[in-house]
Chains A and B, each alone.
Chain A
Amino acid sequence: MTTPATENPPAPAAIAPPVNPASRLAALEEAILPVVVALLVAAIVGDVLILSFGQNPGTVYRLLFEGTWGNAYGFGQVLYKTTTLTFTGLAVAVGLRAGLFNIGAESQLAAGGFAAALVGLILPPGLPALVTLPVYLVAAAIGGGLVGGVPGVLKARFGAHEVITTIMLNFIVLALLNYLTAAHLKVEASLHTEEIHAGGLPRLSSYIAAFHGSAANVVLFIALLAVVLTWWFLFRTRRGFELRATGLQPAAAEYGGVDVRSVWWRAMVLSGALAGIGGLNFVLGYKHYYEDAFATGAGFLGIAVAIVGRNNPIGVLLAAFVFATISQGGLAVNAVVPKQMVDVLQAVVIIAVAASVPEVRRMLRKGDR
């Protein structure tokens, strides 16, 4: 913010440098190996937990598979969870690309959903979704963007570490939303708002009957669009290039004419806005009201999704699908082993990926020499 803009900032000529196939293969190897290792470790831990409960791992894994990909309802639920996780994963990934760790996706997601619900309660009922959707998108993006922007500005202006400020802001924002819902907006004997009648979004089951009962809805397509747009922004635009340059080497980026501080707060606003739009999945696509604590866990899992997806939007989408499957799988096996088993497995995957990324990188480098 304080750095004056240079007259002719050097054009990022090499936005997409030509990559030779060998190094692309190595990059792919570096991205995929840790995930393979992590899934193996998770499978072993899963076996131990299942055996400790006196069950047969094979049976449990078959149940898990049947309850997620094996029938349309389960698959619909996986897609629903994939949608939210894609948004929070993209949010965290955009932050990490700028060198910022956004732990606040949880409250940004909630704030986005809350803002959309507020707007929905004001809009006249019966408006078609085509008219209301842009309004909802903007509202959710502003809600999430505001919550993301605060730590961004604190970082840019005061150098306050965003890890701590986003954690603290999670608690503050969630307490505030809880207060607003409980004290002013709730339907009697609940913790959710009145139902929204202005342009709710259709579920997938209204197109494909087999998805009947599952929460999957058209916000899924907004998530896919967000993946493409985020990828395009990061790798094909100048602002995206500046953002990545800042994340790799802030000092070098600054030297190259990038206003690092504005990149920081802008990245946090964008990150928060992405998480905020994810709130539409629950509020407009599923329940048609805002409910307190609907976002619980989705923000933290967004961190896992971004890490496993290696901060690449396409990787984020795949990782979101994997984590959504594990989440839904917990419900599918709950009758046989406690569903908390999958919480353990998700944590194990995160730890194993985080621990094996530097290791794999070193091994591959050593192999090059």
Chain B
Amino acid sequence: MIIFGFLAQTLRIVIPYIFAASGGVISERSGLIAIGLEGYMLTGAFCAALASYYSGSPWIGLIGAAAGGIAIALLYAVTAIRFRADQVVVGIAINLLAVGMTRFFLRLTFHSSANSPRVPGFGAEQSGTGVASLASNPLIWMGIAAVALVAWMLYRTPFGLRIRAVGEHPVAATSVGIRVGRIRYLAAALSGMLAGLGGAYLALDQHQFSAEMTAGRGFIALAAVIFGRWDPVRAALACLLFAAADALQIQLQGAQAIPSQFVEMIPYALTIIALAGVVGRATPPAALGKVAE
């Protein structure tokens, strides 16, 4: 039974990571640094709560989340591509913007500085860990499907080939007639949509939006992208590893075996180790963060 609780817990934690990391892989493989994942998720979570609240349907909430994620990702893409702004600077600003905007509109629409009222979500129980409530949440299945779809798209479709081409060698891509900017805009939109859905999972699972509810999950997803060496399946496995560590810590909370802070460090420490090349060097896409002329 404990094992079962652990697995269910892991699954609940991993889904938002998986969504955001899948988006992060697409963005980074196209050459756009995905520092803004946290902001996309937060925007998605807020838009999901907003759309779900006013429509009464969590499905409309999902559409809202996707639209919100796409909008903020495109803002990033326009500044990075059209205006050639530094991607790291704008990416960080996008995260600050998302925090400020969601809190501002939280007060504007729901007159609260902390959280939204209860909104329609998937599953009846609030933060239920039962299997029934998990299986009835379509976002679980969508998250798992997203990994497969992104992997298929990236490696088996012409569009995926183009994404990889503009991320590795934009000049060569241009010379064979690929429109680098257009591919990157599409990649950014896709990453915003996926990360936005990851945020939607958080809001719809808890049946409300609360301020800064993503709490660094976007950065864990970014860590998973790097730890998974920019491959969708490996990134998802990294998410699974990070989520399992998290779930284990929750299960052990009573035992006080390891302070929770040390468990929190695991994804970040592993990512640094991977970057330092202790167990095989993690090499980013060649044109990551570079301006395409």
Contacts and interface: CB of A to CB of B under 8 A. Distances in A.
Contact of B100 (A52, A157, A344): A344
Contact of B103 (A300, A307, A343, A356): A343
B216 A171 contact: yes
Contacts of B219: 167, 171
A79 to B, nearest CB: 23
Contacts of B259: 179, 183
Nearest to B226: A164
Contact of A172 (B95, B265, B277): B265
A300 B219 CA distance: 14
Interface residues of A, number: 47
Contacts of A114: none
Contacts of B265: 171-172, 175-176
B11 interface: no
A347 B108 contact: no
Contact of B271 (A53, A101, A168, A348): A168
Contacts of A178: 261
Interface in A160-219: 160-161, 163-165, 167-169, 171-172, 175-176, 178-179, 182-183
A346 interface: yes
Contact of B88 (A101, A168, A182, A345): A101
B83 A103 contact: no
For A304, A342, A350, A359, which residue has the most chain B Cβ atoms within 10 angstroms? A350
A218 B85 CA distance: 37
Contacts of A157: 276
B79 A354 contact: yes
Given A172-B269, A347-B97, A49 B104 contact: yes
A157 B85 CA distance: 29
Contact of A175 (B107, B261, B271): B261
Given A172-B269, A348-B97, A338 B104 contact: yes
B275 A300 contact: no
Contacts of B241: none
A300 B93 CA distance: 9
A101 B261 CA distance: 26
Contact of A355 (B90, B92, B96): B90
Interface in B88-118: 88-90, 92-97, 99-101, 103-104, 107-108, 113
Contacts of B79: 351, 354-355
A341 interface: yes
B90 A351 contact: yes
A159 B277 CA distance: 9
Interface string A97-138: 000010100000000000000000000000000000000000
A53 B33 CA distance: 34
Contact of A158 (B35, B261, B276): B276
B89 A350 contact: yes
B218 to A, nearest CB: 11
A33 to B, nearest CB: 14
B268 interface: yes
A103 B97 contact: no
A368 to B, nearest CB: 19
B84 A358 contact: yes
A250 to B, nearest CB: 15
A160 B90 contact: no
A347 B100 contact: yes
B85 A351 contact: yes
For A171, A342, A346, which residue has the most chain B Cβ atoms within 10 angstroms? A171
Interface of B: 33, 35, 75, 79, 83-86, 88-90, 92-97, 99-101, 103-104, 107-108, 113, 216, 219, 222-223, 226, 259, 261-262, 264-265, 268-269, 271-272, 275-277, 284, 291
5 contacts: A169-B268, A303-B92, A338-B107, A340-B107, A344-B100
Closest CB pairs A-B (n = 4):
A343-B100, A347-B97, A355-B83, A350-B93
